[in-house]
A and B are shown apart, each in its own frame.
Chain A
């Protein structure tokens, strides 16, 4: 290990070469390379964490740039994981990277999370947050949770050495209707920068064995008055008893499940494959703007449950809507009815088709 590189932290009496070695031998998984994940990744990588994992499947959009400061205008339309990997490799060539070009789902969560010592939750929706909690509890992994909304942030380390979990604080997953979620969630650009950096700090403290971990404590940050308030909470022992993941993490999904890009769909169609694509928009929306190349069948979201017999359940079902949100809800709905189905949410929906389609 090149010690000179880390000299400014190894000269710290309470860190030293010993902690630096621990960092090098550690593996940290960052879920989501967005507003929280980016600052966390940049600092974990800079400080010398030996193995870094990244889970991400989004594409860089113009609305990301106000807070996801690693991406530039030139990166628009590229996959986040590809760009992040490029930059992090240039930043520190000693780091081992494990990338997962997927969203975290109940099918892959345990397999991915089991490969790391500490998990950093930088996801942007409740289903993924509850899934991470449950998977970490089952695998006995500590996870550093950060979440933001507006001018505020929340931070805590859950499931640390048998300590309290996310469900000890918030037992029930909110529905999408009650709390703003995903892209509708406004946030001042710098707020995730602050919270994501605090997550990197906690993750490094855990693996280096220094300081006091934010365990059993919830830090509330309010950017408008620069206040940090800490709430203590305790373990509800039943929450550590989880043996397996839930059958479904609900209909309130935001691309948290298996997604497929419009480019992949376009390629399949061009290759002459007949796909079962279900457009869950309303009849009016479907009639006023549909994509002739896509050959989707229109079954509006609120009729889907009643018309399930119109679907061929033996072959993959691709769900489409205007922006990818209702199709994600449709996916959750179908998953609840039958969790054996092969379902894909077309990320970004009709909007993305119009912006990115490459038909010829």
Chain B
């Protein structure tokens, strides 16, 4: 699973993409949800948990916490940016 990082998430994680190994990382076999992914990433990178608005897209569509994801999905973490 590839996670594309935008804005401040790139700075927090320290690269522009993140490859997630396999679903066993989550301790759950096949299906996972966006919520579980967020919790997992939050443990790895506690700074992410501080973001009050963080959009997650799965295969280029905005995803809710209960959206199901699998290993072939492309995920994007999109925080709002404010610069003008």
A and B found bound together:
yes
With known contacts A152-B6, A174-B51, A232-B62, A122–B80 Cβ distance under 8 A: no
B69 contacts across to A, CB distance below 8 A? none
Least Cβ distance of A178 to chain B in Å? 5
Known contacts A32-B84, A173-B53; A231/B78 CB under 8 A = yes
- Chain B residues whose C-beta falls within 8 Å of the C-beta of A179 in the assembled complex: 7-8, 51, 79-82
Q: Which of A35, A170, A172, A224 contacts B84 (CB 8 A)?
A: A35
User: B54's closest neighbor in chain A, by CB?
Assistant: A170
B34 within 8 A of A: no
Specify the chain A residue showing the minimal Cβ separation from B12: A178
Are B61 and A178 interface neighbours, CB within 8 A? no
Q: Mark B1-23, 1 if CB is under 8 A from A, else 0.
A: 00010111010000010000000
Question: Which of B6, B55, B80, B83 has most chain A Cβ within 10 Å?
Answer: B83
B60 in contact with A149 (CB, 8 Å): no
Determine the chain B residues whose CB is within 8 A of the CB of A222 once the complex forms.
Answer: 6, 16
Report the nearest B residue to A233, measured CB to CB: B62
Contact segment of A124-132, A205-213, A309-317:
A124-132
Is there an interface contact between A218 and B78, defined as CB atoms closer than 8 Å? yes
Q: Which of A129, A149, A185, A232 contacts B61 (CB 8 A)?
A: A232
Interface size class of A (residues with CB under 8 A): 35 or more
Among residues 192 to 245 in chain A, which have CB atoms less than 8 Å away from a CB atom of chain B?
192, 218, 220, 222, 224, 229-234
Interface centre among A126, A154, A173, A234 (most CB of B within 10 A): A154
Contact A230 B60 (CB under 8 A): yes
Q: Does A266 contact B (CB under 8 A)?
A: no
Is residue A146 contacting chain B, with contact meaning CB distance below 8 A?
Answer: yes
Distance in Å from the Cβ of B24 to the closest Cβ of chain A? 28
- Chain A residue with the shortest CB-CB distance to B4: A229
User: Does A57 belong to the interface (CB within 8 Å)?
Assistant: no
| Contact of A147 (CB < 8 Å), options: B51, B52, B83 | B83
- Contact between chains at A181 and B62 (CB < 8 Å): no
Partner of B62 from the list A169, A175, A180, A192 (CB cut-off 8 Å) is A169
Asked if B62 contacts A185 (CB within 8 A), the reply is: no
Return the contact of A234 from the options B6, B62, B84 (Cβ within 8 A).
Answer: B62
User: Given that A125-B82, A146-B84 are known contacts, is A172 also in contact with B52, CB under 8 Å in the complex?
Assistant: yes
Q: Are A34 and B60 in contact (CB under 8 A)?
A: no
* Residues from 51 to 84 in B contacting A, C-beta threshold 8 Å: 51-53, 55, 57, 60-62, 76, 78-84
Does B29 sit at the interface, judged by CB under 8 A? no
Scan residues 21-58 of chain B and give those whose CB is less than 8 A from a CB of chain A. Answer: 50-53, 55, 57
A36 on the B face (CB < 8 A): yes
Do A147 and B84 touch across chains, with their CB atoms under 8 A apart? yes
Q: Which residues of B contact A146 (CB under 8 A)?
A: 84
Q: What's the least CB distance linking A153 to chain B, in Å?
A: 8
Q: Which of B6, B16, B61, B80 contacts A126 (CB 8 A)?
A: B80
Whether A178 lies near B83 (C-beta < 8 A) is no
Nearest to B80 among chain A residues (CB) is: A170
Told that A147-B81, A224-B16, A234-B62 touch, could you supply 5 new A-B pairs with CB distance under 8 A? A32-B84, A35-B83, A126-B82, A148-B81, A179-B8
Q: Please name 5 pairs of A and B residues whose Cβ atoms are closer than 8 Å in the assembled complex, sorted by A.
A: A174-B51, A179-B81, A218-B55, A222-B6, A222-B16
Q: Which 3 A-B pairs have the closest CB atoms?
A: A233-B62, A124-B84, A170-B53
